[in-house]
Structure 1
Amino acid sequence: MSADLAFYPGIHQPGNACTFQRAFISINRLRGRLKPITCPDVVIDSGAFTELERFGRYRHGVEEYARELRRLHAAGVVRITAAVAQDFMCESFMLARTGLTVAEHQSLTIERYDALMVERLPFPILPVLQGFAPQDYVAHLEAYGDRLEPGHWVGVGSVCKRNGRPEQVVAVLSAIKRRRPDLRLHGFGVKLTSLMHPGVREMLHSADSMAWSYSARKQGRNGNDPLEAKRFVERVMAAAGRAFEPWQIPLLSIGAAA
């Protein structure tokens, strides 16, 4: 993780995002919201994992997704740094859920990215590279073609279930970087095990994680407590050899209203 890595703690309760400089929030937690979120750097996730795992499809089309993103931005509800395109993960259990192949998931991911770009939203759209084997990601990279400009910020999907074996994450990131060393890669759902691996850290420009919430719930604590997120961010920064920065200290008490 380079010294300037942007780490986005995943936040279940949108109201807690105001306690952090950065936050990663699913669109599923924001639909219809009217109350502003005073966080200066928010990336909106498409809710891809939940949608495909639970329903085997997206319940909301690209136009509806774009419409809600535009409303959130125009109404001043969220200051959106970027929104993630509606991608299709490629783990075996996701393929079984949709009944499609890796190649079909990759094609659908680009198709939805193109459709979202047509909407001309007033903030960046984060495209996602998908696959399972390292060569899959290279093939998907080639399929994107000139859509990915030099220095493009690009998400890398289908790695969150491989955090227990960070060498597999390194293999995926290395394959992408060998072909396009200029890309700024974002790791979705990267847990501390992988973030502590120097090979992973050095190749990521940014990352997000909800691992703090899962760990808290598993140990009988509050999975929505922003102090749990704060402690996780502290550990991430320590892994990067950085001091914990004042802006990362939660300002609200435990159980802040969403």
Structure 2
Amino acid sequence: MRFYLGTHKRHWVKTAGVPLFISARTWRQTRTLPRAVARHAVDSGGFTELQRYGRWAVSPRQYVSEVRRIRDEVGMLDWAAPQDWMCEPAVIHGGRHGDQYFAGTHLSVAEHQARTVDNFLHLREIAPDLPFIPVVQGWELPDYERCADLYEQAGINLAAEPVVGLGSVCRRQATSEAAAIVTTLAARGIRLHGFGFKTLGLNQCGPHLASADSLAWSAHARRRPAMPGHTTHRNCANCLPYALAWRTRVLASLPGWHQPPLDDDPGPQAA
């Protein structure tokens, strides 16, 4: 399993030395992009798009242009997520949930799945040179099985893909429900990427994941004083040393028989 450290600091690709997971929104509207020295993957920023607008405000061609620029100028890109449609009830129905407001798509789970598959097919059609991955979306286990079937019906053999994203699971990653979804899809021979998986989720599902990412270190740091010697900031929510130390602790806490490497490795991912 490859573990991507989530970050909103794009310049970390020059110094972090570990796989990074960075949203396309972070790369957007930047004149000069840094050159990467470690592998990274691109998150489409879909959750924010649907939360704010209840739809995708970025066109597929604009997104393709952004990902191509990242691949060419930053380099070392493993893959990019498609413009998928999350299936959490808050995303669909809208309204206020905790301290977040959702515009709501007011569509069905089935429609979100159809749009997710259609977008992936469209991105591959207009940009076959770019490493877009399919994402399986749903809410309950039968939803995910149905979404996987939609890909198969469209001629996409998910078991032959280097990696397949698993959507709408991160907020319940440590539950038996999430474990059932992961194990069922993994039993199909699908190499899954777990979006937003942290310690509990990795302990529960890690053996069945090809890769995972997490930005949880930043919220973790925001609730604590800065590390000793870090006198220039009140907390370490934007701090690379803190993020790397957190990553090391998370990976070291996993059972040894499925620990990912603490440092980056070339891996079999797309170039």
Is the TM value for this pair above 0.5?
yes
Please state how far the C-alpha of 1:218 moved relative to its aligned partner.
2.9
- The residue number in structure 1 matching 2:23 is 26
SS in 2 for 1:86: coil
SS of the residue corresponding to residue 36 of structure 1 reads coil
Give yes or no for the alignment of 1:84 onto 2:81.
Answer: yes
In the alignment, does 2:119 pair up with 1:119? no
The runs of 5 or more residues in structure 2 that have no matched partner are 94-103, 226-234, 266-271
Contact 1:91-1:132 at 8 Å conserved across structures:
yes
CA distance in 2, matches of 1:246, 1:100: 42
TM-score for both structures, normalised by structure 1: 0.86
Q: How many correspondences in the alignment?
A: 238
Structure 1: gaps of 5 or more residues:
249-258
Q: Please give the alpha-carbon distance, in whole angstroms, between the structure 1 residues aligned to 2:70 and 2:186.
A: 34
Residue 7 in structure 1 maps to residue 9 in structure 2:
no
Residues 243/69 of structure 1: CA separation in 2 closer, same or farther (3 Å cut): closer
Tell me the amino acid that sits aligned with residue 171 of structure 2: K
> Structure 2 vs 1, CA of residues 210 and 170 (structure 1 numbering), >3 Å: closer, same or farther?
same
In percent, how many aligned pairs have the same letter?
A: 34
Does 2:215 align with 1:210? Answer: yes
Which of structures 1 and 2 has the larger relative contact order (alpha carbons within 8 angstroms, sep 6+)? 1
Query: Deviation digits for residues 82-111 of structure 1, max 9, x if unmatched?
Result: 111111110100111111110010001011
> Residues 209 and 73 of structure 1: is their aligned pair in 2 closer, same or farther, counting only changes over 3 Å?
same
Counterpart Cα distance in 2 of 1:137 and 1:86: 17
Question: Does residue 160 in structure 1 map to residue 170 in structure 2?
Answer: yes
RMSD: 1.9
Once the two structures are superposed, what CA deviation does each residue of 1:41-76 show, in whole Å capped at 9, x if it has no partner?
1101100111111221111111100011112223x2
2: distance between equivalents of 1:59 and 1:8? 27
Sort the Cα spacing of 1:93 and 1:151 in 2 relative to 1 into closer, same or farther, 3 A. Answer: same
Question: Which residue among 136, 145, 157 is the counterpart of 2:143?
Answer: 136
**What is the alpha-carbon distance in structure 1 between the residues aligned to residue 111 and residue 223 of structure 2?**
35
Q: Contact 1:191–1:211 (CA<8 Å) still a contact in 2?
A: yes
Task: Please say if residues 194 and 212 of structure 2, whose CA atoms lie closer than 8 Å, have aligned partners that are also in contact.
Answer: yes
Map Cα deviations across residues 156-196 of structure 1 (whole Å, 9 max, x no partner). Answer: 00011103x43221011122133x1x211000011211112
* Structure 2 SS opposite 1:118: helix
Cα distance in 2 for partners of 1:247, 1:154 equals 20
**TM-score, length of structure 2 as denominator length:** 0.82
Structure 1 stretches of 4+ with a deviation exceeding 6 A read none
Does structure 1 retain, via aligned residues, the 8 Å contact 2:124–2:130? no
